[in-house]
Amino acid sequence: MPSESGELDLARLFVPSSEKKGTTLRITADHQQFFTNMGFLLGNGASAPDIIHNILTRFRADHEAQIQKAMKKQMRQMMTPKK
């Protein structure tokens, strides 16, 4: 989510999510209020679920290679017979 200058680009958090599949995600009431306020005050009314969706999408896009590498390593370790 950092921009070229290293600052957090808040505008990228408020892009409406195109996928509207539902799931349950447990967060604290404090987090719910934080994301609701963020969407209302900074995101032109973006919903808390849309902000969370966009944060996770950005995180995954920024770290996909590292995540895949770690998952493959863990899978290899799980599949290797223990002596």
What tens digit of pLDDT does each residue of 31-44 get?
999 999 988 888 88
Q: What residue segments make up the domains of the chain, in order of their start?
A: 10-79
More confident residue, 61 or 12: 61
Q: Which residues contact 39 (CB under 8 A, 6 or more apart)?
A: 14, 45, 46, 47, 48, 50, 51
Q: Which residues contact 25 (CB under 8 A, 6 or more apart)?
A: 49, 52
pLDDT of residue 33: 94
- Fill in the amino acid letter for 83: K
pLDDT of residue 5: 62
Asked if 59 contacts 12 with a C-beta cutoff of 8 angstroms, the reply is no
Structure confidence at residue 19 as a pLDDT band (50, 70, 90): low
- Fill in the amino acid letter for 20: K
Q: What's the pLDDT tens digit per position in 6-18?
A: 677 777 766 666 6
pLDDT of residue 16: 67
